[in-house]
Amino acid sequence: MGLFDNFFNNKKNVTDNQNKSDVEILMIDWFSEAKLSYDEYNTSFYPQVFEIFKNTSYIADIISESEDEKHNLELNIAFIYLIYHFPDKDLIKRLKAIFYNNTNQNTPNSYFTTSFSKQQCASYPEYEFFQKTVNLIFHTYLHISGNRNPYDDSHKYKSLKFSFPEGFIRVMDFAKDIKTENKLYVFLGFYCYKQNDYSTSQYMSATDKVQNHLKDIVLKEINTLNKSTYIQLDLELFQEFFDLYYYKKGFKKWTNTKPNQRQDLGILDFPDFVNFIATNDTNLLVKYLLLSLNLKSFYTDDFLIKTVIYLENQLKPDEDIFLDFLTIYPVYNEVIIDNLYIPLAKKIGIQYHSEIRKKLENIILNQSTKAKHLTFFNALTNTIQDKIEKEIAQAKYTGSVAIIDTAHGWTAFLEGDKNKSIKSNFKEVTKIIDLSLVKIKSGYYDDAYQTVIEINLNGETQKIKHEHINAILFNENIGYQLIPVPFKIMEVINDKYYKGTKYFCGLQFLNQEQYNYLISTYLIGDFLDINIEKNYSNYNFANNNPLTFKAFTLEKTKNVSTNAFLADNNWKWFKEKYVDQLPSAKQWYDLMEIIISFSGSKKPTKKWNTEIATAIKKHGESLFYKELRTLIDSSIKEDFWYFDSNRNALKAIAWTCSLSNDAVSLIILKQIISNSYTKVPNVGPRSGAIGNSALEALIVHPNPDSFGILNLLRNQTKYARFANVLDKYIDKYIDHSDEDEQQLADKAIPDFDFNNGEKIVQYSGFAVKYVIKNKKLSKKWIVDAKETTTTPAFIKEENAKILKEVSSEFKSINTFFKLTKSRVKTYWLNNRQWDYKQWNTNLNHNEMLSPWLNGLLWKNKTQESTFMLLDNKVINSAKKEIKIADSDIIALWHPVMSTSNEIIDWQKFVLKNKIDQSERQVFREFYPFSDSELKLDDTSRFNHHFLTVKKLMAIANSAGWIFTYVHEDVNWPRVYIKALDITAHLKCEYNRNDFAIPTKGFYFTKNDTRKISYNDKVEKIMFDKIPETTRSEICRDIDLFIATTSVAHNIELSEQTELLKQYREDFSFGKFSDNAQAKIRKQIITLIGEQIGLKKINFEKNYLLIDGELNKYTINLGSGFAQLKETKRHIPIIPNTNVIKKKINKYGAITGDDTLYIILAKALFLQNDADITDQKILQIIKNK
């Protein structure tokens, strides 16, 4: 049954529009105007095409489920037929209006543009090209009628031109009848385009029929254009130019040069092209080049730039010819603007009021408000004679770029880098008012997203918005206002809800006279639809100051202090809040003056270095760095440091640290680097420029401990961008050293003058003692030879600045001390080994590192024995001190390298002696590989899990792995182990539309293969080539990912598909619980179960068995799920683990396993089931 029999019942009702939608009425009108037969459509087109759509599986599913969708498809097929046979622009216009404007109507949808292959169209082969033709006709109407260039999507037209000439001619005939100013460029592009024959590497033209048809259209358009332009176009010459430049006809040197070396080729390398230029009018060739650029055929490459410069150098200055260039359909191309338009304008010496300036402004500023372009136009204002007109013209080009939106009623809002504009505007105000900018923060305030600015005004801190700057000027009796001066239409808005115009503006400080000229003369000329009452009435001037704002600021700053730091209002609040709190505050004014004068991009000048070094020496080196640490420690979090106008000062402070061997300077550098590379969401690092400058200072620091700082930062960070930067600087440091990276890192951990865990700093009348004990840093005050942990009252009252200095030092040391712990885990991952002498000197006797090594086990690989470092003694399992030869090879003990009996013996030893291990060691999960698995290069041991994507990304990235939203199908968590030059991969089937992804494999590759691409071929490594501790630690990470991100933990998500539902059931019933975590938990429960209150300790496979009075239970040692033993019914218990945590915390070596806490809490709860009062749980327990 055909569409019309099916939907309209009978043909007599076709003319009755009642109860028909707009799209149905349009279809009937179209058939009528085209005089097309319903019967022919129903018999020879519709059934065959409907069958093609129906044989496409996803479309078949849609139309089988919905009559509306089926009807929608029927309508689309009808319009495809109608457009092909009768492409009337007025009817297409009606279709477009329905298509885009009526969202509640049954309208043509994606069926309209669905493409089919030859195989899919086998039952009706003509339809493949039929549909493409219709698609392009509609596409052409949308583009040309909107003055957009359809050549933007030229590949669609090019394909049709060579594959279906008849359809292509239909499209061209339709396009030529549409009135639009860009028609010539469209047809020129299609006329000149040739197809590349890859078998012969030659370009082929289309059939003579197509080319002649296009030629007739193009010649007609050229004749029309030539009547109104100065330079006459010639189609044959244009084709010759196009072939030479675009297709490089005869450019043998181009063909014979490798693509990555072609940037070195110049115009003179192609004699034929040079001769062609020499024998033709350069003006004409420039016009051809501009026409070609409109065709989107040329790319912005070095050869284009060289061609443009070559042609421009030969042009003679001529205003009429330049205007002719600018009449070509405008295209924004920065190569042309910077290398042709602007140089030619300067050569001619155009005036501000010239027609060329107006046209150039229309082309350039319509797309770009870049400083270099605004500077060019601002230079032209020097030709304006009238003083006030000149000032307003300069104002629009020199202010911060903003937008006036008359449609939505916005007076002005900043465009582009808003924070940069805010800083720039406030910097001007600080020259004339006691004001400094402290912080800029964007977020939701008062239920709206806005930017809030924190300032210090006349010694008081307050929060304002950018527009409040005018109220400040008025209240401070300053006769200026920050006002937008429009210079270009950005967008005309004319929709159902809003009508008006958006304008680009320059925000500038104007006086009363300038403002009056703006609203009475400037705006009346070119900006008539700006409502002056609405957009320009809220400006209040405190006085009628006749000076320009620039002249006024110069006048105000004449008689300020000769010290630049004290004279700059922008630094005033910083001086009062931070510098004045230092014991030597007044001496710091001169130091700060030198610091804020720093002007290097990354490194300081020799002159500056000499000046600051002299000043530090005069101040006293030790005192300088002590006070600098206090200054930075208290202020480093301030956004102020990272403003464009202030960041050089922080770079300067970083470089002062490179002038001393003082360990305190290293702490300061670390703070600056860490804070500069703090990740700001949706932005990146706070300031990579400051961070990189500080890293440059760090790697030239005279103290060898600087390398230790680099490594500690690298071990600590989870931010991939920061890690990559640190890797580069580590490599840079190593290039100048004879030792490898790991040995350098061992030697380069500063001890901060500690001796046997203590450090004493003397002050006048008292001392401070810093102590490292039990892996904690503490401080004591020594007054009259007596020690106290409480700060004495006289120090609080009389030595506040020193107290701040002590607090700063304590915080710095404590941060660094905690950071050194991160090195311990790397010893396993990097498969570190030392001879005992190295180990004893660089690790055991390092004041910052040795506390973390206390209580850890070590493997003497030479003697095949194990020892513990305890209270600075090397002991065996009998607690007897032993001796080790200096040449013996030592490694950090790992359970994967030990026997079961030895593991259990050391576990008992650690528990019995209540030894606190900084890294879980004797109870560490470990992952041995069988002999057969070691011979593989890929393993399925972690397969068949479904992991929640967002959680996995968060946890993997926080663990130092990489997993981000790139490259579907070839993206999964991976981590590079630099010390071994290998990369570990947890392969997953990633799809950005999935909330959970399946695990598919685990393997290692050579080199850094973190950057995955479709074409990369990686070299997998057999597992027996990977050190056993490295293998085990990577497996431990993966087990953590599975334990924390498995979709089985989320009932709602796991119920969404049958596959996930089955996975959750398997997970709950212990299918995946035979893992290293479960084995360790079994060992722990066996050893301490009775001490924490378990009555019986029995296991069955990977389940803990619990006997209650009311029933018997099992608890999965992997997942922590509790069930009735016989029925396997899940018991939804959410236990309180606080009591268990307190009991387990006594055993320092087994803390930190949340699932273990839950298992033990559930076990205690269920063994005492007679005491349960929760009725829902009781019903489950009693099988009700």
Q: Which long-range contacts (CB under 8 A, 24 or more apart) does 861-865 make?
A: 861/833, 861/888, 861/889, 861/890, 861/891, 862/887, 862/888, 862/889, 863/888
How far is residue 858's CA from residue 874's CA, in Å, rounded to a whole number?
Answer: 10
Q: Is residue 520 domain-shared with residue 597, that is, in the same domain?
A: no
Confidence (pLDDT) at 9: 43
Domain shared by 493 and 457, yes or no: yes
Which tens digit of pLDDT belongs to each residue from 678-724? 988 777 898 999 999 999 999 999 888 888 888 888 877 878 889 88
pLDDT band at 768 (very low <50, low <70, confident <90, very high): very high
In a domain, 252, yes or no: no
Question: At residue 556, does pLDDT exceed 90?
Answer: no
Q: Is the pTM of this model over 0.85?
A: no
User: Which of 773, 805, 820 is the endpoint of a domain?
Assistant: 820
Q: How far apart are CA 997 and CA 973, in angstroms?
A: 12
Does position 428 have pLDDT exceeding 70, yes or no? yes
Beta bridge partners of 758: 755, 771
Sheet containing strand 889-892, edge to edge, reads 834-835, 889-892, 857-860, 865-870, 873-875
- For residue 7, the model assigns a pLDDT of 47
Specify the pLDDT at position 850: 93
* Between 443 and 641, the higher pLDDT residue: 641
Rounded to a whole number, what is the distance in angstroms from the first to the last CA of the chain?
59
- Say if residues 85 and 37 touch (Cβ distance below 8 Å): no
Tell me, yes or no, whether 330 and 433 share the same domain.
no
Domain that holds residue 987: 931-1063
The CA dihedral of 971, 975, 981, 987, to the nearest 10 degrees, is -40
Calculate the average pLDDT of the chain. Answer: 83
With vertex at residue 719, the alpha carbon angle to CA 717 and CA 724, rounded to the nearest 5 degrees, is 90
- Supply φ then ψ for residue 782, to 5 degrees: -115, 115
* pLDDT band at residue 472 under the 50/70/90 scheme: very high
Least confident of 77-81, 304-308, 414-418, 714-718: 414-418
Asked if 432 and 496 sit in the same domain, the reply is yes
* Residue 1181, pLDDT above cutoff 80: yes
State yes or no: pLDDT of 774 exceeds 70. yes
CB 84 within 8 A of CB 134: yes
pLDDT of residue 372: 86
40, two tokens: 């022919």
The pLDDT tens digits of the residues spanning 1052-1078 come to: 777 777 778 888 777 766 666 667 788
Tens of pLDDT along 163-222?
777 877 887 887 777 666 667 777 777 777 766 544 445 555 667 788 888 888 888 888
Q: How confident is the model at residue 496 (pLDDT cuts 50, 70, 90)?
A: low
Find out whether 288 and 241 touch, Cβ atoms under 8 Å: yes
Contact 208, 242 (CB under 8 A): no
Three-class SS state of 684: strand
Ramachandran bin of 881, using left for φ above 0, alpha for ψ from -120 to 50, beta for the remaining angles? beta
* CA pair distance 605, 655, nearest whole angstrom: 11
Cα separations (Å) of 302 from 84, 263, 295, 336, 1011?
Answer: 43, 6, 19, 12, 29
Burial (CB < 10 A; 0-12, 13-18, 19+), residue 842, is middle
- Is residue 664 within 8 Å of 625, Cβ to Cβ? yes
* Pair 511, 572 in one domain: no
Q: What is the mean pLDDT of residues 22-32?
A: 85
Q: How confident is residue 298, by pLDDT bands cut at 50, 70 and 90? A: very low
Cβ burial of 437 (10 Å; 0-12, 13-18, 19+) is buried
Which tokens go with 236? 């044959």
Percent of the chain having pLDDT more than 90?
Answer: 30
Rounded CA Rg of the chain: 39
Has residue 150 been placed in a domain? no
Closest CA to 423 of 154, 639, 708, 212: 639
Residue 156 falls inside a structural domain: no
Could you say which of 820, 839, 854 is where a domain stops? 820
Where is the domain boundary, 554, 575, 599? 554
**Mean pLDDT, residues 917-926 taken together:** 91
In a domain, residue 655? The reply is yes
274 or 1014, which is more confident? 274
Predicted local distance difference test score (pLDDT) of residue 467: 84
Which helix or strand (DSSP H or E) is residue 297 part of?
none
Q: Which of 470, 486, 475 is nearest to 549 (CA)?
A: 470
Are residue 591 and residue 729 in the same domain, yes or no?
yes
Tokens read off for 940: 């399925």
964 and 835 assigned to the same domain: no
Phi, psi of 1159 (to 5 degrees): -60, -45
Residue 453 in contact with residue 446, Cβ under 8 Å? no
Indicate if the alpha-carbon torsion angle 655, 656, 661, 667 is positive or negative. Answer: negative
**Residue 595: which of 563, 559, 561 has the closest Cα?**
563
Average pLDDT over residues 570-598: 91
pLDDT at 416 over 80: no
CB 705 within 8 A of CB 789: no
Return all residues near 5 (Cβ < 8 A) that are at least 6 apart.
42
Maximum separation of any 2 CA atoms in the chain, in Å: 115
Considering the domain architecture, whether residues 993 and 1110 belong to the same structural domain is answered as: no
Model confidence at 412: pLDDT above 70? no
Residue 354 lies in a domain: yes
High-pLDDT (> 70) share of the chain, %: 86
Q: Degrees (nearest 5) of the Cα angle 556, 559, 564?
A: 95
User: What is the predicted pLDDT for the residue at 218?
Assistant: 84
Cα separation of 199 and 205, whole Å? 15
- Are 308 and 284 in the same domain? yes
Q: Is the pLDDT of residue 515 over 90?
A: yes
| Co-location of 1022 and 1035 in the same domain | yes
120: left (phi over 0), alpha (psi -120 to 50) or beta: alpha
Predicted pLDDT at 452: 84
- Residue 748: predicted pLDDT: 79
Residue 66 to residue 305: CA distance in whole angstroms: 57
- Number of domains present in the structure of the chain: 8
Distance (Å, whole) CA 178 – CA 1124: 78
Q: How is the chain split among helix, strand and coil, in percent rounded to 5?
A: 55, 15, 35
- 377-406 per-position pLDDT tens digit: 999 999 999 999 999 999 988 888 888 877
pLDDT of residue 245: 75
pLDDT digits (tens, 9 = 90+) for 1100-1130: 888 899 999 889 999 988 878 888 888 878 8
Task: Look up residue 678 and give its DSSP letter.
Answer: P
CA distance 1084 to 911: 10
Distances in Å between the Cα of 161 and the Cα atoms of 118, 193, 216, 477 are 17, 9, 16, 71
pLDDT for the residue 1137: 85
Residue 1148: pLDDT above 80? no
Residue 13 has pLDDT above 50, yes or no: no
Q: Tell me if 167 is assigned to some domain.
A: no
Which helix (H) or strand (E) covers residue 781, if one does? strand 776-783
- Where does the pLDDT of residue 587 fall: very low under 50, low under 70, confident under 90, or very high at 90 and above? very high
Task: State the pLDDT at residue 39.
Answer: 86
CB atoms within 10 A of CB 448: 7
The pLDDT tens digits for 1154-1179 are 888 889 999 999 999 888 888 888 88
**Is residue 205 assigned to a domain?**
no
- Indicate whether 538 and 580 sit together in one domain: no
The strand ranges marked E within 1061-1155 are 1098-1100, 1103-1107, 1112-1116, 1122-1124
Number of residues written out for the chain: 1184
Helices 183-192 and 154-163: crossing angle in degrees, nearest 10, is 50
Q: Please indicate, yes or no, if residue 919 is contained in any of the structural domains.
A: no
Judgement on whether residues 719 and 656 belong to the same structural domain of the protein: yes
